[in-house]
Amino acid sequence: MINSLRGMNDLLEKDEYKRFTYFIDIANSVAQRYGFHYIETPLLEETALFKRSVGESSDIVGKEMYQFIDKGENDVCLRPEGTAGVVRAFIQKKLDRAGGIHRFFYHGPMFRYERPQKGRLREFHQFGVESFGVESVYEDVIMIMMVADILKELGIGYRLQLNSLGDSNCMPQYRENLVSFIESVEDEICEDCKRRKETNPIRVLDCKNEKCQALYQNAPKLINALCDSCQSDFNKLKSILEKNNIAYEIDTNLVRGLDYYSKTAFEFVSDDIGSQSAIAGGGRYDRLVEFLDGRPTPAVGFAMGIERLMELIVMPEESREGYYFGAMDEEAVEIIIAMTQKKRKTQKATCEYRARNLKAHLKNADKANARYCCIIGSNELEHNTIWIKDLINKSEETISIKEF
């Protein structure tokens, strides 16, 4: 027997696909209400795209890419995240040259060769949003509000964690100070952190090793070393969130797992799903368009992990809806198929192709969660009528097919 690959799941069980489509419907509709447009980019891209954007020092690129050489000798990989592809499309379509504001949303599968566990898959689905052309911190607020709105509609509680990663003004000096600090404790830190010190020192701050974490308690904090413009933007962000009753926590170790961020970085976490608690993450990435050979364009975005959210969604109660048609006589089968087809043009309608007894049809109608069970037997056939039972208020009637 052939099974699905480790960390890759089918979306098959009734409850699962309902949660999935319920999430997508809500997230799509919120994004559209915010004036964002749908974008779809390929699952497969040149490996160089992710190396240059997500960053060679990140775990995603360093350890987790589904990378291979295709039949045309191209070095390609399955996308580990959605931002890089959207930025590539934005530049390829010359929208960076067109100027103006461009706002997109997307959803689809992402691939990371991680160690699978609860909430951590090798193929998972994200809903994401990317906004290009707005330098103002107001757009960062919009991103956070959009995540908060989606979570509210889904009935999901969260904690919002915030940090600022500075910009090209204040980051280089901070990095130097941090490297000096790391060198002062270098004998005690883990091998990964030693590597991070060389490639992207701020990534040491979110090392999961407890000993490293204890040492970094005394590390200099970027939040205390922001330049005036980053500090003023960060203050503005906090103040607008407060005015809009969006609670947040400052997490000075929040550096995100991807290298492209500057200024605002944020994560939404849930305390109800175990150790893989990040349900959404994002931030500003003002330099990425330029890194990928586009015209410098400010940008900000986020992505939500759909599988993690599916664990938390509070589904609305389902009410009975639509029609179930059944025949008790072989001769009536074609009639009920035609009637189902007609009803379907405007409402939910299903039918059974085999002639069966009333009990079996009522059971089927119940299973299909239909409101009306509509049956034609030999008696109805003779009089051109149809028997209908309302499965909510339990009333029954027989009416002419014409009237129906």
Looking at beta carbons only, is 193 or 280 nearer to ligand HAM? 280
> What is the β-pairing status of strands 372-376 and 385-390?
antiparallel
297, 132 contact by CB (below 8 A): yes
- Which residue, 287 or 348, is less far from ligand HAM as judged by CB? 287
Cα-Cα-Cα-Cα torsion 221, 223, 225, 231, nearest 10 degrees, comes to 180
Report, in Å, the least distance between residue 147 CB and ligand HAM. Answer: 10
Residue 279 engages ligand HAM in binding (rule: CB under 6 A):
yes
Least distance (Å) between residue 300 CB and ligand HAM: 7
> CA triplet 169, 173, 179: central angle to 5 degrees?
145
Which C-beta is closer to ligand HAM: that of 120 or that of 197? 120
d(CA 389, CA 369): 13
- Contact residue for ligand HAM among 85, 305, 326, 377 (CB under 6 A): 305
Is residue 257 a contact residue for ligand HAM (CB under 6 A)?
yes
Q: What is 106-163 written as a DSSP string?
A: EEEEEE-----BTTB-SEEEEEEEEEES--STHHHHHHHHHHHHHHHHHT---EEEEE
For residue 105, state whether it binds ligand HAM (rule: CB under 6 A). no
* Span near ligand HAM by CB under 6 A; candidates 19-27, 79-87, 242-250, 313-321: 79-87
Please identify which residue in 55, 166, 281, 326 interacts with ligand HAM, judged by CB under 6 A: 281
- E strand or H helix at 279: strand 278-284
Please enumerate in sequence order all residues whose Cβ is within 8 A of that of 28, keeping only pairs 6 or more positions apart, or say none: 38, 105, 107
Q: Which are the contacts of 111, defined by CB distance < 8 A and separation ≥ 6?
A: 43, 66, 78, 79, 80, 122, 123
Out of 20, 105, 124, 174, the only residue in the binding site for ligand HAM (CB under 6 A) is 124
The answer to whether 128 contacts ligand HAM (rule: CB under 6 A) is yes
Distance from C-alpha of 327 to C-alpha of 356, rounded to nearest angstrom: 7
Pick from 308, 343, 361, 389: which binds ligand HAM (CB under 6 A)?
A: 308
Which of 65, 154, 280, 373 is in the footprint of ligand HAM by CB under 6 A? 280
**How far is Cα 377 from Cα 375, in angstroms, rounded to an integer?**
6
Q: What is the dihedral of CA 226, 228, 229, 230, to 10 degrees?
A: 20
Task: Report the residue number, 130 or 352, with the smaller CB distance to ligand HAM.
Answer: 130
* 234 vs 324 by CB, closer to ligand HAM: 234
Using CB positions, name the residue nearest to ligand HAM. Answer: 305
- The span from the CA of 145 to the CA of 36, in Å, is 14
The interface region with ligand HAM, picked from 183-191, 221-229, 276-284, 324-332 by CB under 6 A, is: 276-284
Exactly one of 137, 154, 202, 303 binds ligand HAM (CB under 6 A); that residue is 303
d(CA 372, CA 387): 10
Residue 163 sits in the site that holds ligand HAM (CB under 6 A): no
Residues at the site binding ligand HAM, with contacts judged by CB under 6 A: 81-83, 112, 114, 120-121, 124, 126, 128, 130, 257-258, 278-283, 285, 301-303, 305, 307-308
